[in-house]
Amino acid sequence: MRTDPDRLRQEMMTWRHHLHAHPEFGFEETRTSDFVATKLREFGLDDVAEGIGGTGVVGTLKRGSGNRAIALRADMDALRITEQGNRPYCSQNPGIMHACGHDGHTAMLLGAARMLAEDGDFDGTVRFIFQPAEEWGRGALAMLDDGLVERFPFEEIYGLHNMPGLPIGRFETRAGSVMSAEDNFEIVLTGVGGHAARPHSGNEVLVAACALVTNLQTIVSRRLNPSDIAVVSVTELITDGTRNALPGLARILGDARSFRPEVSASIEQQMRVIAEGTALSHNVSAAVTYTREFVPLINDPMLVEEAFEAARTFLPPEEVTRAHEPMTASEDFARFLDHVPGCFVFFGNGENSPPLHNPTFDFNDDGLLHGARFHAAIVRRRLPVG
């Protein structure tokens, strides 16, 4: 008997609302992992492994005699954001909420696992990867460091994300660069603070910090090739000053986005030159810390075409669209693509959806069945019977 889509959609809604009400931050997803593992066992998967990379879960489902394996991945973690709204399933964990839709991603992959376990129609092995700590770019690495690829081998991997602004039922992706790398930086300026009425008696750092924030904007506009996509954003400026005291310490924090390693390296080099030069001109010192948190997400061209064909099996052709440009957001899924080829896709969350990471955001339940069907369709396409 084939899976009843109406029943499955209702079940996925119930699962998602439960997950939304009980969000957990990265590497703290113990309740979420228990829920996922319990459901996978209920569906009759061949193996369910817990604690992979801390709180990750990997389910394995085999059918037929095929020796190929593919992986499907969903992220489970929530954000440190206080939810706004009065939904009956609002977050019961103060200061934590599913503001990026990972509750929906988890529910969709659970739905696909149920569908494939009940219906089969594939020949080979499917790995269902439920990943912790996507939001701060550590979960995929933790699972890989825990032997994910060696313990649960697979030849290719697929993932998806909801996208506010796209209509429900719209599918979108592209070959090559899809999402950018994310680098984080902190610049500490050190001088001599003092009385606000006597700036000449010390070497305060606030004017230098303000100049440096402005100077950093020239990295993209004047120091990089205009054909390279890059963003440098200062997000915090913190000092030890007060209303009548000039600061002697300032911290400038932010992030940089790019799509090629050499561009990232150039941004770091130019940032160090500008920081040191600006500090010298204001008679203070500068120390730069630069880290690389996310790598660029690069889709395999052939698997992108396979994803398009899979989506067309359940969506109208006009709703299966090719993205024209990459986006400068980042995604931990990219770490898996360092090991196997794969494809990351987007499904619409509604044209009027609040943006991701907004305290009023909510995953649109009308998109649940589309995600589950895509996961199942790509399995059947890549692991065909006969």
Asked whether residue 106 falls in the same domain as residue 117, the answer is: yes
Residues 116 and 168 in one domain: yes
pLDDT tens for residues 151-191?
Answer: 999 999 999 999 999 999 999 999 999 999 999 999 999 99
Domain boundary among 250, 273, 294: 294
Q: Which of 244, 276, 294 is the last residue of a domain?
A: 294
Reading the block at residue 255, the tokens are 């992030």
- Helix (H) / strand (E) containing 10: helix 5-21
Task: Report pLDDT digits (tens) over 268-298.
Answer: 999 999 999 999 999 999 999 999 999 999 9
pLDDT tens-digit map of 189-245: 999 999 999 999 999 999 999 999 999 999 999 999 999 999 999 999 999 999 999
Q: Which domain holds residue 87?
A: 5-177+296-382
pLDDT at residue 1, rounded to an integer: 56
Same domain for 143 and 27:
yes
Q: Of 294, 320, 346, which closes a domain? A: 294
Strand order from edge to edge, sheet including 171-173: 47-52, 56-63, 124-131, 69-75, 156-163, 342-348, 171-173, 320-322
* Cα dihedral sign, 13-14-19-20: positive
Q: Which residues contact 301 (CB under 8 A, 6 or more apart)?
A: 175, 176
d(CA 21, CA 94): 10
pTM of the model: 0.94
Distance in angstroms (rounded) separating the CA atoms of residues 381 and 302: 13
Q: Report how many domains make up the chain.
A: 2
The residues facing 292 across adjacent strands are 183
Do 301 and 203 have their domain in common? no
Question: Nearest to residue 129, comparing CAs of 69, 173, 64?
Answer: 69
Considering the domain architecture, whether residues 114 and 88 belong to the same structural domain is answered as yes
34 plus 168 within the same structural domain: yes
Q: Assess whether 172 and 263 both reside in one domain.
A: no
Is 95 found in the same domain as 28? yes
Structure tokens at 3: 């899976």
Query: 191 and 171 share a domain?
Result: no
CATH code (residue 121): 3.40.630.10
Do residue 161 and residue 30 come from a single domain?
A: yes
Same domain, 253 and 343: no
Domain CATH code at residue 239:
3.30.70.360
